[in-house]
Structure 1
């Protein structure tokens, strides 16, 4: 037995009101008069009123009290638990949004809301839904159907066990719409929603034509400390001057302490103990940090919601590209590279200067074991781009220089080949990142080099004569200018810095840097090397690694690996690894975050639903305009209101009979 509306007990005040009416009822006293002519006058003047009289055993009083009590009982909407009385088809909506991963206390101990919900669903299927066909829907980026009209209990349990938390923006409304559509044409169906009731506000309710009930899975409100924001920015010109800013909050009702650790490339940089006030966000700064490719800010202690306990930022961007320039002297090119944000290391190719220009580089340590004493040694460190201005001397084609050329994106200007004169004509530019925002109108190119590299396609032609080739070789970008800048007035054109910036950005876009921060389930644009044969998302840190989230293969299209990818659904740090046929790998970092709404447990409104156009079979469950909320599982709620209403009508009919007979009782 259960009650759905305890608030209706207020109507029970009618019971003492009826009693008071009988206690204050006027009672007339019989009076003997000498003549019947005085009868009317006696009735008007000689009447006695005796309030607070003793209650007498009157049938009408008991009937009225019984009718009022039945009305109160009916307004409370009582129901009886009838085992195994479920509908023919039950649609179960399982809330698998991020908030369901919160740790709560239950009779069985500590468990997540998702685990407790799975147990509740299994109990429901074994009890109330044991004779029903089950359709199981979960809330993800879009509605997910895990079982459809399933009668096999083993298959249903397997589907329930397969429920997983989705940390991105959950499709609450879309899932309810699907549940409504699945039951719209059915006469014996119902919908049961298992949720923690932390749903995004929705002003337009979803209309259902079948009974809808909500099973709450909440438990005590978990304690949560959240890293709301985290970012890295360089300070000054020194590589060691970086600063971080973090915003941290808590849902605690009183002040709490939280220890945070800041890591750079998995090395602990600093730790702080912060005092957090309820209802306030704390902004904390970290100064004088060394450069790192990946920074991680992490709470040292666990709390009730782990999805926001770590945050990532990246210290490497296109503006910090290192460029090695081999030239006999080209000030325009060097300055254009520096204006594009590159760190340029210049090495002379004519033998007059056997070391790099210290004015353009901070790296002063070079390799002492050069192949040829007439060739400058290879500078230490990694370079994102190698630019060769002019013909390559033989000494740069062997040893460590050859190794560097093979593994680094290469941009050649001039180069080897037969010198030919320009045929003239208007520049024709293909659609390519290198040619963006330029027209080269009116530029003179002078003598050209007649060569057509096998790895590229012409992106700029002078009439029918190719002058710029772009492409990839062994998965690395290649760019070739078939003319010398010294023989052209291109460096004097205002479009030259733009073209150099385009070339730098395109050729260094695949250096394996951080791609930024994305919400779980969002789309991301990934640079894909032309010779990539396979790619995958590899969890490297954070909740994804702690919960052993498996690696996921990259999405493919008709051309191969798709440049538009759906990021994983689990928060953490991922490496998007690409591999070519030679086994060489290219890695991009990407941070995945949870939907911040799922950590806000202040709005306990539940799903917004309504019932319209009820069918005749709905009288078995009562006329409910909104979903009823009850915590039991495995039993059907059978409304008693029709029977109580019929009994109230019988009492009224009996009372009418009493008045109709005209007897004093």
Structure 2
């Protein structure tokens, strides 16, 4: 039994009010009678000092109390669980997040949800319709208000899990909006309630119709690899691995490390308490481009988080070219000390046909055509096809950061920096202002023609910037951003995310190999590739054809760590009362023994109360 309108419970005050009325003495009308002999007992009762009398057995009172109780029950809207569909329009929301791949007996949670959804479709009655919503990374309406059982079954059969976290708030908002616009709608949510996004009642629109949560999960035991990193050291390759136990019982098992050729390198066993973690250190691993760690727990609900890849990274030496016709001792010195760059000083301006480099630095000169590679441009004093120079301007204001949280400005203090003159640039697509003095942009950064670019819009000799501690810090940030392939590995990513992959300048061919063996040719003539990752976890390999041979770069895509906690949770929403006001949070049942729905008893109770009132009126007329 559920109560859909407990906010109306205060109407129960009418019950004691009725009783009080029967306790009060009734007012009488004076009449002249022949004798008071037969009225002595009545007279004694009315002559008492107290204004009330003893409650007597009264059929009218009993009938009125019964009618009041029925009306109060009708106002608090009791509902009973029923099998099948009770709403005219049912909105089914199926969670397809990573935790729905957890095993429940011989089937996964999603397979159980698919089976339950099919059972609901089969029980659709005449005139009833159904909407199917997939609660994935973004909610997706697969079928909208249809009575076609075949269409609904086909859409349900195509539901597939993904390795990320579903946006439950967005899915509930969508379902609530549809239910609000379609009278007689009810929402059925099928999932396990897991996910990193917490449902806040204030963020979810109130449901005016019924809401039913069907729990698909019961298992909570799961062990997962939380972290696996490897790095080169003077003594060889070292690895660090952490195993997390997300369950409520101790977990035991074995952990194994393999190389790129699936050769076993090391193995160990683990015994982890409930809700705890254990860290393993592997010393002197054999040299390999990538490593794969595998755990084999004795009890495990989710196998997709039992494997993790690691790519050892050692900062390499990038190639940079500095072209400064007037010479710049500050710039040359700082480029030699920051980053991992082999700096070559050019004696003449390079053109577009120049050999590719990781970084080109132009000081006081603007090339007509940009060479292959990322660009650092200082003191742009000439207009070109790609550089909209508007002139030069005296500055009377100090530099100030426009976006202080940008990685290029990390730990850079501009308060003691003074700049005499700056170059005025018009708008450049893909470039954003980082530092400004008045209305003049002193530093811009962004992507232009597929290459990363930073523009310092003033002459270093016309400022005290090279003399400030902020200068080497800023240049370190700039070099790291303009040569990411040499300074940092490609970060660990999750399926469906947008990832920027650094590309080697000058590569003649580029091929991206997916974990399932599928290969994709990259034709971008750029220094980076931004792509949305598919729903595939595992090891990705980028092969680039260079003059010196093939260069292979690896990166890994893993399931979101939050999905490893497969403990079932409940889902609750805000329910609206009859007046349309937000009333309370309603947490629904978490049973999956049948296709559940709710049926309100409000109208039956109201009809019964009306019948009692008719009987009470008839009794009153007869004088009982």
TM-score under structure 1 length normalisation: 0.56
Shift of 1:137: 1.9
Q: Confirm or deny: 8 A CA contact 2:217 2:568 kept in the other structure.
A: no
Shift of 1:518: 0.8
Residue in 2 aligned with 1:100? Answer: 100
Residue in 2 aligned with 1:243? Answer: 238
Secondary structure of 1:517's match?
coil
How far apart, CA to CA, are the structure 1 residues paired with 2:536 and 2:269?
A: 28
- Superposed CA deviations along residues 393-446 of structure 1, whole A, max 9, x for unmatched, are xxxxxxxxxxxxxxxx9889xxxxxxxxxxxx96445767565376799xxxxx
Q: Confirm or deny: 8 A CA contact 1:167 1:569 kept in the other structure.
A: yes
Does the C-alpha gap of structure 1 residues 536 and 229 become closer, same or farther in structure 2, counting only changes over 3 Å? same
Residue in 1 aligned with 2:251? Answer: 256
Does the C-alpha gap of structure 1 residues 631 and 4 become closer, same or farther in structure 2, counting only changes over 3 Å? farther
- Superposed CA deviations along residues 126-176 of structure 1, whole A, max 9, x for unmatched, are 113675444322122222233334444333222212212122242222223
Secondary structure of 1:271's match?
strand
How far apart, CA to CA, are the structure 2 residues paired with 1:598 and 1:321?
A: 38
1:643 maps to which of 578, 596, 604? 604
2:272 maps to which of 273, 276, 282? 276
How far apart, CA to CA, are the structure 2 residues paired with 1:560 and 1:600?
A: 40
Residue in 2 aligned with 1:608? Answer: 573
Residue ranges of structure 1 left out of the alignment (5+ in a row): 26-33, 47-54, 324-332, 345-384, 391-408, 413-424, 442-494, 540-548, 616-622
How far apart, CA to CA, are the structure 1 residues paired with 2:169 and 2:179?
A: 16
Residue in 2 aligned with 1:591? Answer: 556
Matched, 1:436 2:376: yes
Residue in 2 aligned with 1:363? Answer: none
Residue in 1 aligned with 2:498? Answer: 523
Q: Confirm or deny: 8 A CA contact 2:93 2:134 kept in the other structure.
A: yes
Does the C-alpha gap of structure 1 residues 561 and 606 become closer, same or farther in structure 2, counting only changes over 3 Å? farther
Residue in 2 aligned with 1:77? Answer: 78
How far apart, CA to CA, are the structure 2 residues paired with 1:576 and 1:251?
A: 34
2:149 maps to which of 149, 153, 157? 153
Shift of 1:99: 1.3
Q: Which has the larger radius of gyration?
A: 1
- Superposed CA deviations along residues 538-577 of structure 1, whole A, max 9, x for unmatched, are 10xxxxxxxxx574757988x8998101122233222245
How far apart, CA to CA, are the structure 2 residues paired with 1:631 and 1:308?
A: 26
Structure-to-structure mapping, 1:166-185, within 5 angstroms: 166-185=162-181
Query: How many residues end up aligned between the 2 structures?
Result: 469
Matched, 1:538 2:535: no
CA RMSD of aligned residues (A): 5.4
Does the C-alpha gap of structure 1 residues 104 and 561 become closer, same or farther in structure 2, counting only changes over 3 Å? farther
How far apart, CA to CA, are the structure 2 residues paired with 1:169 and 1:532?
A: 38
Shift of 1:316: 3.0
- Superposed CA deviations along residues 261-307 of structure 1, whole A, max 9, x for unmatched, are 12232322211112211232323322233332212222024720123
Secondary structure of 2:173's match?
helix
1:565 maps to which of 508, 531, 541? 531
Residue in 1 aligned with 2:117? Answer: 121
Secondary structure of 2:181's match?
coil
Matched, 1:303 2:303: no
Q: Confirm or deny: 8 A CA contact 1:260 1:271 kept in the other structure.
A: yes
How far apart, CA to CA, are the structure 1 residues paired with 2:178 and 2:379?
A: 58
Secondary structure of 1:141's match?
coil
How far apart, CA to CA, are the structure 1 residues paired with 2:280 and 2:122?
A: 52
Q: Confirm or deny: 8 A CA contact 1:246 1:284 kept in the other structure.
A: yes
How far apart, CA to CA, are the structure 2 residues paired with 1:71 and 1:39?
A: 38
Matched, 1:316 2:307: no
Shift of 1:591: 1.1
Does the C-alpha gap of structure 1 residues 637 and 44 become closer, same or farther in structure 2, counting only changes over 3 Å? closer
How far apart, CA to CA, are the structure 1 residues paired with 2:545 and 2:121?
A: 47
Does the C-alpha gap of structure 1 residues 508 and 82 become closer, same or farther in structure 2, counting only changes over 3 Å? closer
Q: Confirm or deny: 8 A CA contact 1:101 1:165 kept in the other structure.
A: yes
Secondary structure of 2:182's match?
coil
How far apart, CA to CA, are the structure 2 residues paired with 1:181 and 1:659?
A: 50
Q: Confirm or deny: 8 A CA contact 2:375 2:482 kept in the other structure.
A: no
How far apart, CA to CA, are the structure 2 residues paired with 1:72 and 1:140?
A: 42
Q: Confirm or deny: 8 A CA contact 1:86 1:129 kept in the other structure.
A: no
Structure-to-structure mapping, 1:244-643, within 5 angstroms: 244-265=239-260, 266-301=262-297, 303-319=300-316, 341=340, 427-428=365-366, 433=373, 435-436=375-376, 509=485, 515-528=490-503, 535-539=511-515, 551=518, 553=520, 563-576=529-542, 587-601=552-566, 604-611=569-576, 626=586, 628-629=588-589, 631=592, 637-643=598-604
Q: Confirm or deny: 8 A CA contact 1:210 1:614 kept in the other structure.
A: no
How far apart, CA to CA, are the structure 1 residues paired with 2:521 and 2:571?
A: 36
Secondary structure of 1:154's match?
helix
Does the C-alpha gap of structure 1 residues 77 and 573 become closer, same or farther in structure 2, counting only changes over 3 Å? same
Secondary structure of 2:163's match?
coil
2:2 maps to which of 1, 4, 25? 4
Does the C-alpha gap of structure 1 residues 661 and 553 become closer, same or farther in structure 2, counting only changes over 3 Å? farther
Secondary structure of 1:516's match?
coil
Residue in 1 aligned with 2:402? Answer: none
Q: Confirm or deny: 8 A CA contact 1:535 1:561 kept in the other structure.
A: no
How far apart, CA to CA, are the structure 2 residues paired with 1:435 and 1:610?
A: 57
Q: Confirm or deny: 8 A CA contact 1:535 1:554 kept in the other structure.
A: yes
Does the C-alpha gap of structure 1 residues 592 and 341 become closer, same or farther in structure 2, counting only changes over 3 Å? same
Shift of 1:601: 4.4
Secondary structure of 2:490's match?
strand
- Superposed CA deviations along residues 95-142 of structure 1, whole A, max 9, x for unmatched, are 11111111113xxxx211001111111111111367544432212222
Identify which range, 523-532 or 122-131, moves more after superposition: 523-532
Q: Confirm or deny: 8 A CA contact 1:77 1:640 kept in the other structure.
A: yes
Residue in 2 aligned with 1:211? Answer: 209
Residue ranges of structure 2 left out of the alignment (5+ in a row): 24-35, 49-55, 321-331, 348-354, 382-470
Shift of 1:259: 1.5
Residue in 2 aligned with 1:194? Answer: 190
Residue in 1 aligned with 2:452? Answer: none
